Structure 1
Amino acid sequence: MSTALPTRGARTRKWARGFRRRETLAAYAFLSPWMIGFLIFMLIPMVASFVLSLTDYDALRAPTAVGLANYRQLMEDPDVRKSLTNTLVYALMSVPSTMAVSLGLAALLARTGRRSAGIFRTLFYLPEITPKVAVGVLFLFLFNGQAGLVNELLGLFGVQGPQWSTDGAWVKPGLVLMHLWSVGSTVVIYLAALKSVPPELYEAAELDGASRWRRFRHITVPMISGALFFTLIVQSIAALQTFDEAYTAFYGNASSAGYSSDAALFYLIYLFQQGFQFLHMGYASAMAWLLFAIIMVITLIQVRLSKRFVYYEGR
């Protein structure tokens, strides 16, 4: 009794299935370090923090279930409202200024030669790798109300500099100026986006008599709107989670000097106090989940609005 040999088409399909299986296994092998890291360092801690948010836990005794009591307390805590207000006001000041300054610097870099552009890209990016605590200490000296370099420079022009680190009206503007020190990554993103705009669009608009402003508004902005949208989301999330510079240069300085630190009480600073100073771990976990919900809502709104303003060439 003879056995029929598989046809060429069957052998090809079998080989293709084996190849796809090997490719899939290889893909999972390459992804496994990230997946394991996400599971251990992100997903499990997130689940644990949500469970802790439903408990009364001080890191010394076993947690006690309290249900939604921590979330109800959040709604009644005046310091939560104060810190959220400070954080949102800072975000509204920081995000547009960061994007505007970064776009201006990127536009200047786009006009320079290749060799000099590489040098300036490196110089602009260097502050990004500087530890934020070190930046906070540096600006603590620069913004010193009595002997800081910033006020010394303002004095040369006859301007009386404010008490940057202790005056509540100037804490947030000072923090925004500090944040503008490290816009290198945003500048690099915008520079890459500007370089990808087809030059023939500018040439055609110039031949039609379009002014520099109209070319920027109707060509540059739509063509780099994807990069603008990405940095808007990233900068918004970063601003809502500001901690290092604010605590080092403003909140900690005002507290140690005996001044009111309410203007520098940002949300993560208050969360840090509750969790690691007062050991209210359950309450701090509830605060973390409230911030997560706020960031999620703001991001979803931005994504929804982006459909009106973001231009994609494939559409």
Structure 2
Amino acid sequence: MTILHGHSAALRSKRRREGLRTLAFLSPWLIGFSVFFVYPLVSTVYFSFMKYDGFKPPTFNGLTNWTYVFSQYPFFWAAMSNTLWLVAIMVTARVIFGLGIGMLITKIKTGAGFFRTFFYLPYLAPPVAATLAFAFLLNPGTGPVNQLLGDLGLPQPGWFNDPTWSKPALTLLALWGIGDLMVIFMAALLDVPKEQYEAAELDGAGSWKRFRYVTLPNISPIVLFAVVTGVIQTMQYYTQPIIAGKTASGVIGAGAGQIYEPGYPGKSTLTLPQLVYTLGFQRFDTGSACVVALVLFALSMAFTALLMRRRSGLITVED
């Protein structure tokens, strides 16, 4: 009995040492996770129920901030609608376009290196510079794109000056910088076993069936990765729409004191991250800014959870 008791104590001691060793290796991640995720999240929830301007001590005001954002703040639902539109349209367009470009380049026999560089370089352009360039190209009055469309007898959209066309213009800007997804999809496509394509051809499968039953199942985890990261990035979409709106409205380059209406034109380029900045750092309404930030967090988690389901929509991850 004494021997068994000693053996059990030694086993517990060994497990304790292994647990402490594991905890020591995990400690950098645990500290970073606690400091940079848990603490900010808890603080955001806390301040969402407080009246706080960053100067005076916070005071509890219940659901006032939540009621204000959802029912009284005039920009919230427009920003919500724009953000969801960009998630649905822009992310889908980027994934399809990036996959198409990746497939095209993998089929090219000569000059593949040139085309890889050609399509990847726009991704390296700074977001502000790229947006300013697009605002110039798509200027409805003097931009070369509308001049070309006019010469061809085609309609000339207002682009960033038209609420109907501002988000499609942002989508075109996102497709121009498709180099990141192109590289990811190219790596996945080149990893698909050629034997499966040969077997499909022997069975008489055409191009579409080879893509549907060979290519797509093999790259579906990469498609899932592209969609999830695209949703998260689009939920944080801030720089391009605000620069496009300011440029189109003439605020950039104007004199001091120029008033800028958020989301120009007609709130069509307003996104939820812009509201977080406007409420928190321009109006010093930290409580309302935290409410919008929590809405963004909840939406991101909901979309990610939906997409990560093993059989969600058109994307399936095989065992």
Correspondence for 1:288 among 279, 289, 293: 293
Compute the RMSD of aligned alpha carbons. Answer: 2.9
Distance 1:283 1:72 in 2: 9
1:96 alignment partner in structure 2? 92
TM-score scaled to structure 2, two decimals?
0.82
Distance 2:317 2:80 in 1: 35
Correspondence for 2:214 among 205, 210, 219: 219
User: 1:217 Cα deviation (Å)?
Assistant: 1.3
User: 1:131 Cα deviation (Å)?
Assistant: 2.2
Distance 1:158 1:147 in 2: 16
Correspondence for 2:145 among 142, 150, 158: 150
Are 2:293 and 1:265 aligned? Answer: no
Correspondence for 1:181 among 176, 182, 186: 176
Distance 1:117 1:185 in 2: 16
The correspondence of residues 177-216 of structure 1 with structure 2, limited to 5 A, is: 177-216=172-211
1:3 alignment partner in structure 2? none
On the 8 A contact 2:140/2:158 being kept in 1, the answer is yes
| Deviation larger for 245-254 or 288-297 | 245-254
Counterpart amino acid of residue 291 in structure 1: L
Are 2:39 and 1:62 aligned? Answer: no
Per-residue Cα deviation, 1:156-182 (whole angstroms, up to 9, x for no partner):
322242111111110110010011122
Distance 1:35 1:128 in 2: 33
1:136 alignment partner in structure 2? 131
User: 1:61 Cα deviation (Å)?
Assistant: 1.7
On the 8 A contact 1:144/1:165 being kept in 2, the answer is yes
After TM superposition, the runs of 4+ consecutive aligned structure 1 residues lying more than 6 A away are 19-23
On the 8 A contact 1:225/1:309 being kept in 2, the answer is no
On the 8 A contact 1:151/1:162 being kept in 2, the answer is yes
Distance 1:51 1:23 in 2: 35
User: 1:124 Cα deviation (Å)?
Assistant: 3.1
User: 1:119 Cα deviation (Å)?
Assistant: 4.6
Correspondence for 2:122 among 124, 127, 130: 127
TM-score scaled to structure 1, two decimals?
0.83
User: 1:185 Cα deviation (Å)?
Assistant: 1.4
Correspondence for 1:53 among 39, 48, 53: 48
Counterpart amino acid of residue 272 in structure 2: Y
Counterpart amino acid of residue 242 in structure 2: Y
On the 8 A contact 2:311/2:317 being kept in 1, the answer is no
Structure 1's unaligned 5+ residue stretches are: 1-12
On the 8 A contact 2:53/2:284 being kept in 1, the answer is yes
Distance 1:289 1:226 in 2: 28
Distance 1:252 1:280 in 2: 27
User: 1:86 Cα deviation (Å)?
Assistant: 1.4
Structure 2's unaligned 5+ residue stretches are: 1-10, 252-259
On the 8 A contact 2:122/2:177 being kept in 1, the answer is yes
Correspondence for 2:239 among 240, 244, 253: 244
1:82 alignment partner in structure 2? 78
Distance 2:23 2:68 in 1: 48
2:35 alignment partner in structure 1? 40
Aligned length: 296
Q: Percent of aligned pairs with the same residue?
A: 36
| Deviation larger for 56-65 or 296-305 | 296-305
Counterpart amino acid of residue 101 in structure 2: L
